[in-house]
């Protein structure tokens, strides 16, 4: 049997589970030219059923079941695995996976790329000196860094100290055929509010964890209804996702007496259908790289309210595609909810502008082309060096 001539890209993540980073990997694998590269996914901890979203049948998934802590003891195993797989490219993502660049270098992987997708919950402003030092240390073994936003590119250059030539900025892309505006709001399966056209459905979707701060949206929703009792017959809140903040968010709403006006069904896999069932999308995060859910909402023709953190300010154009509010500021978010609840034409105009921006600036084809050209460029640069090395070795032999 002839070996497959396509170069292999090994995507390395901490855990392959529901999330924006992992969704970006899925989109890249599903939409890159299958004749150009093969793909494999290596999770340092676990690979979950999320892998079913990969539509290609030739993708290998591997899990190392790593316990918490430094993975130095895994280096021999990683070295052997990399020598066996012989990837042309190892692409690590976020700090938890960056140390794999070391055994990748030792195993002779020609191209080593690292992606920065967002802030860690323990380093929201990027000031953690220890994390900066770790990136500098492991960065020695990386040829190119990919920053998903200008904010992250600035962090890598100014805080960590990498030269601009080593950094490539590539935005996430959104599938504008899957995420598309509905002529009118569609009912969400199981939602108690979806069939009433007189209601305004405010929604979000994502892992319910501290950095996403869904409790801020719960507090702002309650505050908006307290300030404007007339909106109690109109506003409804739907929040998809599971995690430690789900119970806290539900408790805040229930304690205020508005439990019947909100629906928190847990994790949903039908994100495109979920978006078509909303009137307004909100992302209340404390930190972000480039949010897939904002892009999906924009592609779905929804106005967006987001906190002014990280890459959010690069996606949401203030007063054009949505509104930006300070993080952790329930009063400001409540005011934004009220402002858009009162102005249907403004919401529609923002939704149209968001859809246009998704098509023009954030199409999936643009993201895929950016990564493929990066891989092509780095592999082409390595080819002369490998040819020279083979010639030198043959002379010595």
- Domains belonging to the chain, first-starting first, are 8-173+363-396 (3.40.50.2000), 200-361 (3.40.50.2000)
Cβ atoms < 10 Å from Cβ of 316: 27
pLDDT tens-digit profile of 254-290?
Answer: 999 999 999 999 998 889 999 999 999 999 999 998 8
Phi, psi (degrees; rounded to nearest 5) at 97: -105, -5
Is the CB of residue 281 less than 8 Å from the CB of residue 302?
Answer: yes
β-pairing, 200-205 vs 280-283, is parallel
Phi, psi (degrees; rounded to nearest 5) at 128: -65, 110
Tell me what pLDDT residue 384 has. Answer: 61
Tell me what pLDDT residue 225 has. Answer: 98
Tell me what pLDDT residue 72 has. Answer: 82
Q: Which helix (H) or strand (E) holds 92?
A: strand 89-93
Distances (CA, A) of 14 to 22, 105, 372, 376: 10, 19, 23, 25
pLDDT < 50 positions in the chain? 386-394, 396-397
Name which of 129, 136, 100 is nearest 10 in CA terms.
100
Tell me what pLDDT residue 393 has. Answer: 40
């Amino acid at each position: 049997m002839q070996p497959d001539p396509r170069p292999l890209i090994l995507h390395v993540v901490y855990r392959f589970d529901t999330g924006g980073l992992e969704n970006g990997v899925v989109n890249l694998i599903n939409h890159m030219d299958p004749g150009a590269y093969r793909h494999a996914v290596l999770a340092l901890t676990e690979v979950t059923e999320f892998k079913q979203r990969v539509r290609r049948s030739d993708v290998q998934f591997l899990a190392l079941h790593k316990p918490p802590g430094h993975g130095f003891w895994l280096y021999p195993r990683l070295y052997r695995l990399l020598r066996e797989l012989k990837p042309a490219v190892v692409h690590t993502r976020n700090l938890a996976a960056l140390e794999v660049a070391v055994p990748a270098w030792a195993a002779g992987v020609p191209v080593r790329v690292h992606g920065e997708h967002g802030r860690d919950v323990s380093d929201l402003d990027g000031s953690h000196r220890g994390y900066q030092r770790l990136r500098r240390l492991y960065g020695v073994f990386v040829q190119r860094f990919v920053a998903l936003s200008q904010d992250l590119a600035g962090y890598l250059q100014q805080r960590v100290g990498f030269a601009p030539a080593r950094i490539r900025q590539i935005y996430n892309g959104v599938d504008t055929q899957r995420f598309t505006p509905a002529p009118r709001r569609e009912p969400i399966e199981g939602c108690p509010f979806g069939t009433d056209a007189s209601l305004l459905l405010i929604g979000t979707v994502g892992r319910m964890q501290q950095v996403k701060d869904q409790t801020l949206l719960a507090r702002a929703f309650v505050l908006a209804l307290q300030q404007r009792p007339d909106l109690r017959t109109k506003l409804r809140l739907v929040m998809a996702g599971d995690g430690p903040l789900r119970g806290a968010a539900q408790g805040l709403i229930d304690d205020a007496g508005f439990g019947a006006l909100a629906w928190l069904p847990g994790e949903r896999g039908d994100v495109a259908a979920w978006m078509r069932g909303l009137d307004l999308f909100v992302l209340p995060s404390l930190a972000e790289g480039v949010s897939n859910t904002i892009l999906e909402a924009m592609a779905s023709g929804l106005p967006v309210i987001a906190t002014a953190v990280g890459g959010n300010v690069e996606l949401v154009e203030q007063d054009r595609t949505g509104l930006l509010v300070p993080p952790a500021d329930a009063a400001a978010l409540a005011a934004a909810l009220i402002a858009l609840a009162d102005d249907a034409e403004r919401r529609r105009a923002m939704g149209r502008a968001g859809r246009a921006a998704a098509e023009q600036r954030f199409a999936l084809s643009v993201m895929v082309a950016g990564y493929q050209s990066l891989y092509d460029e780095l592999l082409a640069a390595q080819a002369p060096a490998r040819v020279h090395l083979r010639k030198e070795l043959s002379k010595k032999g």
